[in-house]
Amino acid sequence: MTDWQELEGKYYMQTIVRVPVTLVKGKGVRVWDDKGKEYLDFVNGLAVNCLGHCHPVVINAVAEQARTLIQTSNWYYTVPQLQLAQLLVENSCLDRVFVCNSGLEANEGAVKLARRYGHLKLNGAYEVITTLDSFHGRSLALTAASGNPKMHAPYVPLPEGFINVKNNDIEAIKAATTEKTCAVMLEPVQAEGGVNIADDDYLQKVRAWCDQKEILLILDEVQTGIGRLGTLFGYQLYGVEPDILTLAKGLGGGIPIGAVLARENAAVFVPGDHNATFGGNPVTSAAAYATLKYVIDNDIPGNVRKVGHYLMEGLKRLKAKYPFIKDVRGRGFLVAIEFNSDIAQDVLMACLEKGLLVNKLKPDAIRLIPPLTIGNKEVDQALGILDNVFSGIVN
Ligand SMILES: Cc1ncc(COP(=O)(O)O)c(C=O)c1O
């Protein structure tokens, strides 16, 4: 039997320290490794497979489209891309869509759009204010945009024009705003940076400030979009409408796709400004259209609200039982468990052994990002394994 992990060590670029398991099959909330062991998957392609692994809606959309037309070029009109754009616009506060291939591409498009807007309407303003502990992607520009100095250091010099300010602090945004500012870019809930939840009125204050200064508000909903927080888009949870919105992860139900959405007045690209060879490809767009339609038609965000509440109640009980749990926090199915010491790797490995996949968010925190379709039964199974793992922790 091939040792895939040894093969990775030999042939693959060492960009990540992987969890020592080779996954070969998935269905719903379950995956199987190459030895046939079954796991409950609360990592879920890193908050991607919103309908679970290999959902028939996604399979059928991909298979049907792959039999019909796989790739053309954006020089031509194609049906799935335009159906997807219409569905997104009809269900959001935005007016126009550009479809791309990933979260970073969506954010790169959003920043380009904001700079274009700055050039056209704000006397050449080009700076984008972002927050510390944010994560927006790994291109050079988005490395600069992401508020994590450790990410910056190996790649300096980075493109200029990004100002990282303290999170959840409207005064910090105000202080950083100058005549060079064209936009503020935020995640409704900082996901990779720690599942950091800002004050309820923070986004509203930022919106009001952007309106006052006539600059754009970009919401990076690559992780929070498509139901993860219990509303179709995270901005709906906070009663705030962005000028530009970015999506990826959940959008394709597991198929790689991203999108930039903008209000009409911010959609300032003209022909020649922006494009992507694979952006809005018929197969990925068909998968996203089918996924999004299923999410909307079946009120999947409603399930996230209901079952997410159940999950949080269970986690609070575990917190009350185990003093080494410092905090449980989250919205919907974007949840973190923080410990009072760096035991996240030990917890992850013990969960793996007992058949539950969790994500190590930080040395002292794990993240649960299950499919949006699970019910209380799967939550009970995960809580049972976590309880079992925690009971074995000497702290
Ligand atoms: C909020 C946010 N923005 C952007 C990205 C980058 O997305 P991608 O990995 O698809 O480039 C991520 C990925 O985790 C993310 O969580």
User: If you measure from the C-alpha of residue 58 to the centroid of ligand 1, how many angstroms do you get, rounded to a whole number?
Assistant: 21
Check whether 61 has a pLDDT greater than 80.
Answer: yes
User: If you measure from the C-alpha of residue 391 to the centroid of ligand 1, how many angstroms do you get, rounded to a whole number?
Assistant: 34
Which pLDDT value is given to residue 49?
Answer: 97
Mention every residue, 6+ apart, whose C-beta is less than 8 A from residue 192: 135, 223, 361
Check whether 395 has a pLDDT greater than 90.
Answer: no
Which pLDDT value is given to residue 205?
Answer: 98
Residue 80 pLDDT class (50, 70, 90 cuts): very high
Distance between CA atoms of 339 and 322, rounded to whole angstroms? Answer: 10
- Tell me the three state secondary structure of residue 293: helix
Average pLDDT rounded to a whole number, residues 13-33: 97
Average pLDDT rounded to a whole number, residues 218-224: 98
Closest by CA to 362, choosing from 64, 150, 99, is 150
Average pLDDT rounded to a whole number, residues 91-109: 98
Mention every residue, 6+ apart, whose C-beta is less than 8 A from residue 10: none
Q: Supply the angle between the helices 300-321 and 282-297 in degrees, to the nearest 10.
A: 70
Distance between CA atoms of 371 and 54, rounded to whole angstroms? Answer: 11
Residue 129 pLDDT class (50, 70, 90 cuts): very high
Distance between CA atoms of 210 and 188, rounded to whole angstroms? Answer: 15
Closest by CA to 198, choosing from 212, 211, 216, 184, is 184
pLDDT over 90, % of the chain = 99
User: If you measure from the C-alpha of residue 146 to the centroid of ligand 1, how many angstroms do you get, rounded to a whole number?
Assistant: 10
Distance between CA atoms of 252 and 10, rounded to whole angstroms? Answer: 32
User: If you measure from the C-alpha of residue 132 to the centroid of ligand 1, how many angstroms do you get, rounded to a whole number?
Assistant: 15
Which pLDDT value is given to residue 265?
Answer: 98
Average pLDDT rounded to a whole number, residues 214-231: 98
Cα 162 to chain centroid distance, Å, stands at: 21
Q: What is the pTM of this model?
A: 0.98
Mention every residue, 6+ apart, whose C-beta is less than 8 A from residue 25: 31, 32
What residue owns the CA closest to ligand 1's atom 8? 103
Check whether 392 has a pLDDT greater than 80.
Answer: yes
Degrees (nearest 5) of the Cα angle 242, 334, 86? 40
Question: What pLDDT, in 10s, does the model give residues 146-179?
Answer: 999 999 999 999 999 999 999 999 999 999 999 9
User: If you measure from the C-alpha of residue 222 to the centroid of ligand 1, how many angstroms do you get, rounded to a whole number?
Assistant: 6
- Across the chain, mean pLDDT equals 97
Q: Are the C-beta atoms of residues 207 and 241 closer than 8 Å to each other?
A: yes
Sheet holding 365-368, edge to edge: 325-331, 334-339, 365-368, 359-362
Atom from ligand 1 closest to the CA of residue 134: 1
Cα 193 to chain centroid distance, Å, stands at: 12
User: If you measure from the C-alpha of residue 299 to the centroid of ligand 1, how many angstroms do you get, rounded to a whole number?
Assistant: 24
Helix/strand/coil percent split, the chain, to 5: 40, 20, 40
Distance between CA atoms of 196 and 187, rounded to whole angstroms? Answer: 10
Residue 348 pLDDT class (50, 70, 90 cuts): very high
Q: Which of 131, 186, 249, 331 should be mutated for ligand 1, with most atoms under 8 A from CB?
A: 249
Average pLDDT rounded to a whole number, residues 283-291: 98
Sheet holding 162-165, edge to edge: 96-100, 258-262, 244-247, 216-220, 181-186, 127-131, 162-165
Which pLDDT value is given to residue 8?
Answer: 96
Which pLDDT value is given to residue 312?
Answer: 98
Residue 394 pLDDT class (50, 70, 90 cuts): confident
Distance between CA atoms of 387 and 395, rounded to whole angstroms? Answer: 15
Average pLDDT rounded to a whole number, residues 55-71: 98
- Tell me the pairing of strands 30-33 and 96-100: unpaired
Q: Which of 101, 102, 136, 224 should be mutated for ligand 1, with most atoms under 8 A from CB?
A: 136
Which pLDDT value is given to residue 1?
Answer: 77
Residues with CB under 6 A from ligand 1: 102-104, 107, 135-137, 187, 191-192, 220, 222-223, 248
Average pLDDT rounded to a whole number, residues 216-234: 98
Q: Which two tokens stand for residue 8?
A: 């990775």
**What is the CB neighbour count within 10 angstroms for residue 375?**
12
